[in-house]
């Protein structure tokens, strides 16, 4: 604890020294800070949708109707009874009336969530999507990892994303490109992606320096996505930098799409902060001991991070550091360590990457066809309908252990359930998710 770095004081996040690169009035603002790419938005006027599909970063950059695209929560792969692979979010998602429930219910309960109420109030909490929360929140993003939360203490079930093995815990303390979703003091939601690799304590210090009262991580480093249509894209060079100079990056099956709401939510942003904000002091000996214990653990973790930086990280760079910098403007010594080959990419995508590709100027070269979206059909909640318990079903969409198996084949039930409300992203992707891409033509044999 003696070598732990001090936590910086909160700074103003609306400094005139940081120009706003893109804005939509007071609803959405994007700026490039010296250490990160940052956006913040008013949840009453900006809605969150699911942008499904593999390798759709270029389409996201060209989507003039969207404000931004960012990484979604962690996901996992499942194989249905018919042998088809599907992607399932590790935590629960509720975007308007559409609900995707994680199959690993234990993991859903052991993660954190961000909820946006029907009045626009934002909650950073812990646990799964329950029936009460489904009635309370218009938007629910589960499966997140808590960096810190000054408004609410973690529930006893909370374990976070790095509690499976020592290997994952070590990865958490090594420098990585970090994605953060935070709650500002004015009630707005802020999303940032760091430009360089940061450790846990550095990430926490950065969030506190920006004045965030709570900060969550949506996913691992190599899956970070931060796209502003027409302003900031995502290319292979960025992907290689994020993955530590590796020759490939981890693909994502979906992203969170931010766009303006047709009808803004009615409410006050600061109402939730005023009712849930904790006091600076302690009222009884038990509260004081808990506060002191939490501060002691934070300082111990900070000291461990500094030890990793000065001892383990230099040794690790000798083994895993890239041979040359992926970008001349970025130093190789500052690049994050290479991500290990841990991925949930579908088998078809891995086979495409391993296949021999023709040169781009070859007359017989074919562009690899995009993979269809493979998320199971969401559960649609009608007005006044309660969220059923896990394992139960509803009239419009089966929600049991085999619900994804029955709808993943692309039948009429899957198409109707995936359609969702008019204009939704899932509705646009319903036909695409059921279409099987044709087999690409092979080049003629060489003489």
Q: What is the pLDDT of residues 116-174, one digit of tens each?
A: 999 999 999 999 999 999 999 999 999 999 999 999 989 889 988 765 566 666 666 78
Same domain, 45 and 189: yes
> Residue 181, SS3?
strand
Same domain, 272 and 406: no
Q: Which of 222, 244, 276 is the last residue of a domain?
A: 276
The structure's pTM equals 0.78
Q: Which of 259, 276, 293 is the last residue of a domain?
A: 276
The per-residue pLDDT for 433 is: 36
> Residue 78, SS3?
strand
Eight-class DSSP state of 356: -
Residue 425 structural domain: 401-431
- Contact between 264 and 45 under an 8 Å Cβ cutoff? The reply is yes
Band of pLDDT at residue 429, cut at 50, 70 and 90? very low
- CA-nearest of 266, 237, 211 to 324 is 237
Question: Please, what sign has the CA dihedral across residues 141, 146, 147, 152?
Answer: positive
- CA-nearest of 287, 206, 228 to 11 is 206
Q: How far apart are CA 187 and CA 65, in angstroms?
A: 25
Q: How far apart are CA 214 and CA 126, in angstroms?
A: 12
Other Cβ atoms less than 10 A from the Cβ of 192: the count is 26
Tokens found for residue 212 = 């965030």
- Contact between 89 and 73 under an 8 Å Cβ cutoff? The reply is yes
| The total number of structural domains that make up the chain | 2
Who has greater pLDDT, 353 or 37? Answer: 37
Within a domain: 136 = yes
Band of pLDDT at residue 99, cut at 50, 70 and 90? very high
- CA-nearest of 230, 193, 248, 217 to 90 is 217
Taking the alpha carbons at both ends of the chain, their separation in whole angstroms is 70
The per-residue pLDDT for 438 is: 42
Contacts of 20 (CB under 8 A, 6+ apart): 29, 30, 31
Within a domain: 356 = no
Q: Which of 216, 245, 276 is the last residue of a domain?
A: 276
Paired residues of 88 in beta bridges: 76
Q: How far apart are CA 243 and CA 346, in angstroms?
A: 19
Within a domain: 16 = no
The per-residue pLDDT for 244 is: 76
């Amino acid at each position: 604890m003696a070598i732990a770095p001090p936590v910086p004081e909160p700074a103003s996040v609306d400094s005139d020294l940081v120009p706003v690169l893109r804005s939509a009035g007071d609803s959405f603002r994007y700026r490039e800070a010296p250490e990160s790419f940052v956006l913040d938005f008013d949840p009453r006027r900006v809605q969150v949708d699911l942008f499904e599909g593999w390798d759709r970063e270029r389409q996201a950059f060209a989507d003039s109707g969207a404000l931004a695209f960012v990484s979604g929560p962690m996901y996992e792969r499942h194989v249905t009874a018919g042998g088809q692979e599907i992607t399932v979010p590790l935590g629960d998602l509720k975007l308007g009336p559409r609900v995707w429930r994680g199959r690993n219910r234990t993991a859903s309960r052991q993660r954190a969530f961000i909820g946006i109420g029907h009045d626009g109030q934002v909650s950073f909490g812990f646990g799964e999507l329950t029936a009460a929360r489904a009635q309370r929140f218009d938007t629910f993003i589960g499966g997140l990892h808590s960096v810190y939360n000054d408004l609410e203490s973690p529930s006893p079930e909370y374990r976070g994303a790095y509690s499976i093995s020592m290997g994952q815990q070590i990865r958490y303390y090594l420098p990585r490109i970090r994605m953060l979703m935070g709650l500002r003091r004015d009630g707005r939601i802020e999303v940032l992606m760091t430009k360089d690799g940061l450790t846990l304590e550095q990430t926490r210090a950065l969030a506190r320096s920006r004045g965030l009262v709570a900060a969550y991580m949506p996913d691992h480093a190599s899956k970070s996505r931060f796209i502003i249509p027409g302003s900031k894209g995502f290319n292979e060079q960025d992907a290689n930098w994020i993955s530590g100079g590796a020759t490939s990056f981890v693909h994502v099956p979906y992203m969170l799409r931010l766009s303006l709401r047709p009808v803004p939510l009615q409410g006050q942003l600061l109402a939730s902060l005023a009712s849930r904000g904790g006091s600076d002091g302690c009222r009884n000996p038990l509260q004081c001991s808990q506060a002191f214990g939490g501060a002691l653990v934070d300082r111990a973790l900070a000291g461990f991070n500094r030890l990793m930086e000065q001892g383990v990280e230099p040794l690790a760079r000798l083994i895993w550091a890239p041979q040359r910098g992926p970008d001349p403007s970025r130093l190789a010594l500052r690049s994050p360590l290479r991500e290990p080959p841990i991925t949930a990419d579908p088998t078809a995508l891995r086979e495409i990457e391993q296949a021999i590709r023709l040169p781009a100027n070859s007359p017989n070269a074919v562009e690899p066809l995009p993979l269809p979206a493979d998320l199971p059909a969401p559960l649609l909640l009608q007005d006044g309908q309660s969220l059923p318990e896990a394992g139960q079903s509803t009239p419009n969409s089966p929600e049991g252990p085999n619900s994804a198996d029955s709808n993943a084949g692309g039948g009429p039930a899957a198409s109707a359930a995936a359609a969702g409300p008019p204009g939704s992203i899932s509705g646009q992707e319903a036909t695409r998710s059921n279409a099987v891409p044709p087999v690409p033509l092979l080049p003629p044999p060489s003489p």
